[in-house]
Amino acid sequence: MTSNQENLFESAMSRYQAGEDASELIKDFETITASTPNHSAGWTCLAWLQLLCNRNDDALRSARTAVKLNAQDPQSRINLSLALLETNATGVRDHIEFVKRALFVVPDLEKELKNSIEDGLSRKPEWSALKKIQTWLFG
């Protein structure tokens, strides 16, 4: 990834963390993933933003790409699980089980994933698919 794309990624992430609306950031992440198609974090972020904006079919494609590029990333697996739930597709259980195993092996992930879920629910309070995943992972 060139420094331009890296700067765009960092800038978009900072804007998201500062509370900018997800719909305003999708274009940036589409640009990042188009110019650097192997950037798994870019695909993970794009899928998350698409889910927040109810672009579930797009999110499913993006999340599948993210998992394909980095199958070990729990956030990518959560995003894919969400997209599968939102599109009534099958295969959610395998990804949730993977995340549970990752949490068992690397307990430090718990705080990061809980923060991500809290962020999602603060931006989309009635997100039933995310509430299901929260329950499945953390009871």
Residue 4 banded pLDDT, cuts 50, 70, 90: confident
Alpha-helical segments (H) within 70-108 = 74-86, 92-105
Distances (CA, A) of 28 to 12, 39, 55: 7, 13, 16
Sign of the C-alpha dihedral computed for residues 70, 90, 96 and 139 taken in this order? positive
Cα distance between residue 33 and residue 125, in whole Å: 28
Does 1 have pLDDT greater than 60? no
Spell 84-99 as b/e; 16+ CB within 10 A means b.
bbbeeeeebeebbebb
For residue 93, the enclosing domain spans 3-138
Q: Indicate the number of domains in the chain.
A: 1
Cβ contact 113:130 at 8 Å: no
The string of pLDDT tens digits covering residues 40-97 is 999 999 999 999 999 999 999 999 999 999 999 999 999 999 999 999 999 999 999 9
Q: Pick the more confident residue, 7 or 61.
A: 61
Does 2 have pLDDT greater than 70? no
Pick left, alpha or beta for residue 127 (phi over 0 → left; psi -120 to 50 → alpha; otherwise beta): beta
What per-residue confidence (pLDDT) applies to 24?
96
Which CATH number is 126's domain given?
1.25.40.10
What per-residue confidence (pLDDT) applies to 28?
95
Q: End-to-end alpha-carbon separation of the chain, Å? A: 39
